[in-house]
Homo-oligomer: A and B are copies of this chain.
């Protein structure tokens, strides 16, 4: 009873906040609002922050309905422009075709904490979008504006290390999405002299990393993740030993910036920066997971490819069948004996269970097959990590078995990891080929299929 009353009171309060918020939004777009926009935007943001549940839903709905362009006017101006391609007609048309929501967001952004609030608003909007397709145009406006504002030309590259503020390091621990950081001692290893961490910041959000990447400086291209993360692995302090920079983790921190490409720019800017610091560094590569592999392998029915010869396809098909036979069709525990042995630290001389070598070769070949068929668009069954790096212009360089023996690594990819290579000379042509459906792979990878 009491609870219901309290809920009713909260609802009434939120309804009042919503009403005022909408009042402020409308005023911001009028002449009257323009002269005092910072004050109005500040109040609007305060009201917005108090919304939740139903009131928030309504707010987004109204953003979708009320702040669209006027179809009739746009059509009229499009006809004028088609008739007379004058600058005036074009200016009028462009203005009319831009949804007024964009100007609304630009004016909200004038408030002291405007930018952070708009990023947070987008994050909430994206959650709604999953179940409410009508918000797609609203979301497109957010993405368009945030893309313009978080233009890499505006971002600051910051090296994160052990002299960084604890409050920032804490956020790194929290947002690391690829290889979990298990507390401060674990983090510390990733800040040693042979490791690097770089983040992008926007100048008006000085305490919020947008995205960060972790790099290992190594004598050669790595084929397993565990040694990179092992906090007892001694750090290499001699820079003359650094030949390879391996990007082993890249994590976004701001869900509200989805669709704003930051990772591509981050990787390339970090590569440049490292190259300046260590002119001998020649190889920039990743050590990446293949999160789609186990799933694909479990479900794939027949291997098809317009690019491979039938004989090759048949051979790969045999490898797949072999695998399935050896594991009774249940691939879930594939590699476990070997992995467990490795984790137990057994001597290499121990008897390897029969078939393990055959398994591993089969896995590498099938993984290569899977990745070579990565498609550029979003809606395919391709590996997302592969799509990201290939789209950035990287090359599929090497497939490594027993590379990630963590529970997650075994479950997602039977322990496989991949190196993608960033060769600045090749980036443009690789990207272009990928866009046209062709994956650039090293000779070694190609020899697997």
Give A contacts to B, CB under 8 Å.
Answer: 31-36, 38-39, 64, 68-69, 71-72, 74-75, 77-79, 81-82, 85, 87-88, 90-91, 93-94, 96-99, 106, 109-112, 114-115, 133-138, 140-141, 144-145, 147-149, 151-154, 156, 162-167, 169-170, 183-184, 191, 203-204, 264-265, 268-269, 391-393, 424, 427-432, 435
Chain B residues with CB below 8 A from A93, complex form: 69, 74, 97
Question: Are A109 and B153 touching (Cβ within 8 A)?
Answer: yes
Q: How far is the CA of A116 from the CA of B38 in the complex (A)?
A: 26
Q: How far is the CA of A77 from the CA of B81 in the complex (A)?
A: 13
- Contacting residue for A166 out of B106, B136, B166, B204, CB 8 A: B166
Q: List 18 A-B contacts (CB under 8 A).
A: A34-B431, A35-B264, A39-B424, A69-B81, A69-B93, A71-B81, A74-B93, A87-B135, A87-B136, A88-B137, A91-B140, A93-B97, A115-B153, A148-B149, A162-B165, A162-B166, A165-B165, A203-B203
Q: How far is the CA of A134 from the CA of B91 in the complex (A)?
A: 12
From A72, which residue of chain B is reached at the shortest CB distance? B82
Chain B residues with CB below 8 A from A391, complex form: 35
From A36, which residue of chain B is reached at the shortest CB distance? B428
Question: Are A75 and B79 touching (Cβ within 8 A)?
Answer: yes
Q: How far is the CA of A205 from the CA of B292 in the complex (A)?
A: 44
Question: Are B90 and A82 touching (Cβ within 8 A)?
Answer: no
Question: Are B91 and A82 touching (Cβ within 8 A)?
Answer: no
Question: Are A428 and B35 touching (Cβ within 8 A)?
Answer: yes
Q: How far is the CA of A162 from the CA of B166 in the complex (A)?
A: 5
- Contacting residue for A153 out of B111, B141, B147, CB 8 A: B111
- Contacting residue for A393 out of B36, B79, B162, CB 8 A: B36
Q: How far is the CA of A410 from the CA of B33 in the complex (A)?
A: 37
